[in-house]
Structure 1
Amino acid sequence: MAIASAFALVAGTAAAASAAPDPGAVASAAEARVEPVAWTPCNPDPTKPDPGIYDCAVYPVPLDYDHPSGEKIGIAMMRRRAADPAKRIGSLFLNPGGPGGSGYLWATTTRFGKDVQDRFDLVGFDPRGVARSNPLKCFTTDEEAAAVFDRQVGVPVTKAEVDATLDATEDYTDACSRNAGPLIEHMSTENVVRDLDRMRRAVGDKQLSYAGFSYGTLIGATYAGMYPDKVRAVIIDGNVDPNLRLHNGLEYDRQRAAGFELALDEFLKRCKAAGAPRCAFGEGDTRARFDALRDHLRTSPVTLADGTTVTLSSFTSQVANALYAQSRQAPLAKSLQALDDAIAQQGAPSLVAPKAVSDDAKALAVTVPSALREALPETPYSADDSYYGVNCQDKPYPSNPRVFANLARAWEKESPTFGRYQAFDAPACASWPAPARDAERYSGPWNRRTANPVMVIGNLYDPATQYKFAERMQRQLGSAVLVTVDVVEHCAVGRSAALGKLVTSYLVDQAVPAPGQVLKPDTEAFPPLS
């Protein structure tokens, strides 16, 4: 089944699965029976020859678990069949985070080694409301969405920018009230976890094997709390603080901004240590030079030679985006140096910057959206609104949007690059049509002892989910071990051979890693010049 036809099934009413289950795909007699998944062969990339190892399905789950026999929605699933069926252990479910991240094509991931691919069906899925799984949509066309989103400023500084952003945000949530339908009331992580457990039974696994990244760690922790006896092997990488996130959205976001600041500071220190040319921004006091760039943009956007403009919003979003992956950090350093050169030359019109310098600086002129909005491009509104659909149901926030503007000033003092940026990530939750106080939310306990220990992975300088979140996750769970990686990056599986060995042993043999390990990534952000 092609991806497009999978979406067509999801967009309509999901049909009940009727195919015979795989060998051994029989749910435990102690559990309520669910229909098996009706897999159909599919090709993840129709532009290439079909490798013949993938299947797709649209699995029906209740819209509202308080009425399990009522309306159904479809969860789009893809699996990469185990390469060694005779030694197959079961399914490994995957979630890339977000919330709002599409996990459908994660069945094709290469983050896991050969032994894992031999022994497990890799199962990717789009959670409810995401991409191919009945996407939650607040608009009917891209033009309607642009009329709202184009009025928002990612890092608003002036009163006019703040007012325009908050007004547009209220128009956004009004559109969600009109267009999103009943699904908007059932987007919490608790509902996603109920879907996951139903899929686990539907593929015939007695216990869950799962790997979740970023927000996906909350799915794993919630599963461990709701179904502790069904945990076979759960890996959570790039961890949230589940208790804080579910009880105080504002404080969680304040600490998240601090995590970005810690990662930025380490990036600048490592750049300085590497020096130029290994790190293009590595000359002099990298911290002071970066702060000068940011402070300049706060009052004076920079127009480059080709007419493109670097703003505080575009700059901040690009810096944040680069901290997510080591592979983006050397290019970021080039862009910072190019912007520094462009500012220096603004006062000297006789000096013309080389085109290559302008091209490097131009990268900082493109704003990276803070919210994941993933859907299929052939739809009139080619995005979805699951990011807020989940966050606003999980994280309690005040109902007065002006609170965010007031907090932005305080957060900016302690997190000068990312405090204001983070404060304006969630004002939509103040007027969200289905807020956390009315939602079906699992907010603990988190310390139920699972059938097998959970593997928690944390990077020392993870920008989006700072390391102390991983430490708290390990402590809050009833049975878990923490493995640490010394890197400036968000999430680590697939980035370290040493970690890969531990992951493989844990998934295949259920060998729990020894606590206290600190590992290195396979590559550096600024490797020695050859």
Structure 2
Amino acid sequence: MTSGRTSVLSGLTALLVAVAPAVAAANPPALPLLPDGPVPELSWTQCGTTSDAVAAGVQCATAALPMDYDQPQGTQVHIAVARVPATDPTQRIGSLFFNFGGPGAPAVAYLQSTGAGIFSALNARFDIIAFDPRGAGQSEPSIDCRVDATTEGLVPRPAPTPFDLDAGALVARAQRYVDSCLGNNGEILQHVSTANVARDMDALRAAVGDQRLSYLGFSYGTFLGATYAALFPDRYRALVLDAPVDPQQWIHDPVSLSATQLVAFERALDRFLAACAADQTACSGFGDGDPSTAYDALLASTAATPIPAPRYTENPAPVTVDDIRDATLQLLYAKRFWGLLGAALAQAESGDGSLIRLIMDRVVAPRDDPRQDRFFAIAGSEQQWPRDVDAYLERGAREWADHPHFWSHFAYAEIPFALWPIRDEDAYGGPFTVAPSSVTPLVIATTYDPATPYSLAAGMVRALGNARLLTMEGDGHAAYGRNSACIDRLTESYLIAGTLPAAGTVCRQEVPFVAPAPAPSGTGRVTVPDAVGTGVLGRP
């Protein structure tokens, strides 16, 4: 990975762009290109979940679509859809669809609570469209393995190591999780591949009256975008793929993808700790000048004696070493959370685990949260995971030795994939090539992204063939949306006018590393920014 690149100055944008193959900015023709299946009818109703005016204009609908596109008149899924209508109807281009990744991350609740949110600058020209992918969020049926995410979920807790590993018990635990997923869901598990989500999105595109799709996908959502382009090459007008995966690797070599991610998360931790050492004020004084040594010492002491969490009265359970690792990994997803992470670690170092406990319970692993279930079922339905359980155990031991902070989220946690019997026959495995005559997708990658490392962008660009790479020099997962004015401006120019950045363009991240504001004096409360729960969080 290359660092230290020159940022793009905002005043020179006009000199750094090139025009993409014809992307119409005018209103689309009245009749959209028809999808392969039925076009659902959408009956919109007001559905904002807050009294704040920001969500007052949000509308929701439900789309009935085939569970199996080979049997369009058979069982239906009911896809939850939300929109924020364009604020300038006279300049409206069409609709902008988005996907937050996961796989299985919901999107409807985001619009319901925030309005256009990070897409506000695009909302003048586009209706902002969210939909919860089949099997997820408010769509029905929605996958839920009905396990306690903290004790019975995908990631084993306490984290196993080669010194205390009971291989039989670990595999039995994985089998119980698989059995719970199989026993509590049913037919939907066989029809949640990315290709079927792409078919749903094409039907929704037609349902909202768009001739061609405009789309912004984050993380796994880039694989959805690449799949849509492969299946429907003449039905999109603009594709933005931010924090990309390598589509061939996603489907055909998930073990290599996993290994690449583990290295990147460890590197992200190193960068955070180095930033803490350079700015102790921003890091709330954690580590007293040597945060790296202090972090490992905190893990060691917490492994011996969990830390009380008395100020988090909803659940003052002591914080474990696994809690600290898990909270750290989650907050490394965005640089704007670094200050919060520093504050939580500083509190824990002083003997108070309340902020770590709050982050765990509300953000990382709420007990009834099925996000990991959906990630597992969707990925398992299409990715080609090895079936040899011993290979996972051997890899887990190597990962513990080489990557001592986050190993437990990878090989040991992936054993359920080896045991998962469900395959979606409609899954698509490539090729993902975009013809030279087609609209060029815009691929955006961050140099120190922990979840979709920068190297994966090369795989996406290589797989597409016809693609333009835009780089953000910075940290965290995904670039668009208040990380860099340069990134936002160039992305919006592409989506609105079809203007591509010049090849090799690099923008610089502008997010400061600052300590969070303290709770109001005298309250004794422990607080966490609401934004932690709304970002592009998950793996990948």
Taking structure 1 as the reference length, the TM-score comes to 0.82
Structure 2 match to 1:334: 343
Aligned equivalents of 1:337 and 1:44: distance in 2? 37
Structure 2 contact 221–241 (Cα < 8 Å) conserved? yes
Residue 245 of structure 1 pairs with residue 250 of structure 2: yes
Aligned equivalents of 1:36 and 1:277: distance in 2? 51
Residue 27 of structure 1 aligns to a residue in which SS? coil
Select the residue among 290, 296, 321 that pairs with 2:295.
Answer: 290
Alpha-carbon deviations, 1:284-333, whole Å to 9, x = none? 33333323333555x52433374743323211111101101223211211
Cα 1:367–1:73 change in 2 (3 A) is closer
Residue 123 of structure 2 aligns to a residue in which SS? helix
Between 1:206-215 and 1:467-476, the stretch displaced more is 467-476
Residue 507 of structure 1 pairs with residue 495 of structure 2: yes
Select the residue among 409, 412, 426 that pairs with 2:397.
Answer: 409
- The one-letter code matched in structure 2 to 1:112 is F
Aligned equivalents of 1:259 and 1:197: distance in 2? 34
Structure 1 contact 76–104 (Cα < 8 Å) conserved? yes
Specify which structure has the bigger relative contact order, considering alpha-carbon pairs within 8 angstroms and separated by 6 or more residues: 2
Residue 268 of structure 1 pairs with residue 273 of structure 2: yes
Structure 2 contact 449–475 (Cα < 8 Å) conserved? yes
Structure 1 match to 2:537: none
- The one-letter code matched in structure 2 to 1:122 is I
Cα 1:154–1:93 change in 2 (3 A) is farther
C-alpha deviation, 1:519, in angstroms: 1.7
Select the residue among 425, 433, 439 that pairs with 1:447.
Answer: 433
Aligned equivalents of 1:310 and 1:372: distance in 2? 15
Select the residue among 155, 178, 184 that pairs with 2:183.
Answer: 178
C-alpha deviation, 1:371, in angstroms: 10
C-alpha deviation, 1:124, in angstroms: 0.2
Structure 1 contact 154–421 (Cα < 8 Å) conserved? no
Structure 2 match to 1:379: none
Structure 2 contact 473–509 (Cα < 8 Å) conserved? yes
Cα 1:151–1:278 change in 2 (3 A) is closer
Structure 2 match to 1:127: 133
C-alpha deviation, 1:49, in angstroms: 6.3
Cα 1:528–1:392 change in 2 (3 A) is closer
Aligned equivalents of 1:304 and 1:488: distance in 2? 31
- The one-letter code matched in structure 2 to 1:254 is A
Aligned equivalents of 1:27 and 1:468: distance in 2? 37
Structure 1 match to 2:12: none
Structure 1 contact 136–389 (Cα < 8 Å) conserved? no
Aligned equivalents of 1:76 and 1:127: distance in 2? 8
Cα 1:148–1:362 change in 2 (3 A) is closer
Cα 1:408–1:312 change in 2 (3 A) is farther
Select the residue among 211, 218, 239 that pairs with 2:216.
Answer: 211
Cα 1:472–1:526 change in 2 (3 A) is farther
C-alpha deviation, 1:142, in angstroms: 6.5
Residue 84 of structure 1 pairs with residue 70 of structure 2: no
Select the residue among 301, 315, 324 that pairs with 2:324.
Answer: 315
- The one-letter code matched in structure 2 to 1:404 is Y
Aligned equivalents of 2:28 and 2:309: distance in 1? 64
Structure 2 match to 1:351: none
Structure 1 match to 2:378: 390
Structure 2 match to 1:350: none
Select the residue among 42, 49, 57 that pairs with 1:45.
Answer: 49
Give the superposed CA RMSD: 3.2
- The one-letter code matched in structure 2 to 1:190 is A
Alpha-carbon deviations, 1:325-358, whole Å to 9, x = none? 223211211232333344xxxxxxxxxxxxxx55
Structure 2 contact 452–477 (Cα < 8 Å) conserved? yes
Aligned equivalents of 2:132 and 2:337: distance in 1? 26
Cα 1:98–1:301 change in 2 (3 A) is farther
Aligned equivalents of 1:23 and 1:190: distance in 2? 25
Aligned equivalents of 2:466 and 2:108: distance in 1? 29
- The one-letter code matched in structure 2 to 1:250 is V
- The one-letter code matched in structure 2 to 1:423 is A
- The one-letter code matched in structure 2 to 1:418 is F
C-alpha deviation, 1:363, in angstroms: 5.4
C-alpha deviation, 1:472, in angstroms: 2.2
- The one-letter code matched in structure 2 to 1:425 is A
Residue 101 of structure 2 aligns to a residue in which SS? coil
Residue 525 of structure 1 pairs with residue 525 of structure 2: no
Structure 1: gaps of 5 or more residues: 1-21, 343-356, 376-382
Taking structure 2 as the reference length, the TM-score comes to 0.80
Residue 111 of structure 1 pairs with residue 118 of structure 2: yes
Structure 2 match to 1:28: 33
- The one-letter code matched in structure 2 to 1:111 is I
Cα 1:50–1:280 change in 2 (3 A) is closer
C-alpha deviation, 1:474, in angstroms: 2.1
Residue 447 of structure 1 aligns to a residue in which SS? coil
C-alpha deviation, 1:96, in angstroms: 0.9
Cα 1:63–1:36 change in 2 (3 A) is closer
C-alpha deviation, 1:467, in angstroms: 1.3
Structure 1 contact 274–282 (Cα < 8 Å) conserved? no
Residue 471 of structure 2 aligns to a residue in which SS? strand
Between 1:121-130 and 1:411-420, the stretch displaced more is 411-420
C-alpha deviation, 1:262, in angstroms: 1.6
- The one-letter code matched in structure 2 to 1:320 is L
Cα 1:301–1:65 change in 2 (3 A) is farther
C-alpha deviation, 1:190, in angstroms: 1.1
